[in-house]
Amino acid sequence: SSDSLYASVMAPSQLIVANSAAEYSSKAKINVSPDVMFTIDEARQYIAQKAGKTIDALHPSTLIPQELCTRTADGKDASTVRQNQIRKMLREVCVVIETLPDKREEEDGMIKTRGIQYFRDNYRTIFDRLVDKLEVAIPELQLCAGHWKALQLISRRLKSFSEKDTRRNKFIEKQKLKHQPLRRQSLQQPLQTFSSANPSLDAGIGSQRDYHQD
């Protein structure tokens, strides 16, 4: 199967697992600043404070900006050049999962966007390996608990696919509505031509209509 094929190619890496910046510092023998946003709650708290809100008022689906997901070990934002490199690698990873066959039935030519949950449900092994490889390729993403930084970046990328799919689906719907009058006209034209070529049949239909009215 495609799952086993990808799994055989993508052997898991030995990444450090930690729940805090202090624990990671101890295990990796490097100094990781608390400003690195090690947990997603720390990042959400930061966003809420910047917006003048409490963390409880922040919508659960709020995505974390890329710059907060890619801070360096000293807690500083990555450079613009580095951010562009990360975006490029992220695009490459997401293309891999987006090209996986859709296991859902197609519906009227419409594109049904696939989010993280879809890939976790249908391609769990492949998805986990890709997250692993993304963290190897982008070391900044290792500085967190529970892979939240990699997952957030993938979510952002898949959301951009979703927005494109929504625009495409709207275009398809407009095209369908635009061509409906043409289809009705093309269906009516042969009937009109047939009636003109067969006036006796049309008269017969008329006499039957008169009979029923009596």
Q: How far apart are CA 140 and CA 84, in angstroms?
A: 14
Q: How far apart are CA 187 and CA 206, in angstroms?
A: 22
**Residue 188: pLDDT band by 50, 70, 90 thresholds?**
low
Q: What is the pLDDT of residue 132?
A: 92
Q: What is the pLDDT of residue 98?
A: 84
Q: What is the pLDDT of residue 24?
A: 96
User: In the chain, what percentage of residues exceed pLDDT 70?
Assistant: 65
pTM of the full predicted structure?
A: 0.69
Q: How far apart are CA 115 and CA 107, in angstroms?
A: 18
Q: What is the pLDDT of residue 205?
A: 44
Mean confidence (pLDDT) of the chain: 79
Question: 84-105 burial string, b = 16+ CB within 10 Å, else e?
Answer: eebeeebeebbeebeebeeeee
20-73 pLDDT per residue, tens: 999 999 999 999 999 999 999 999 999 999 999 998 888 888 889 999 999 999
Q: What is the pLDDT of residue 165?
A: 46
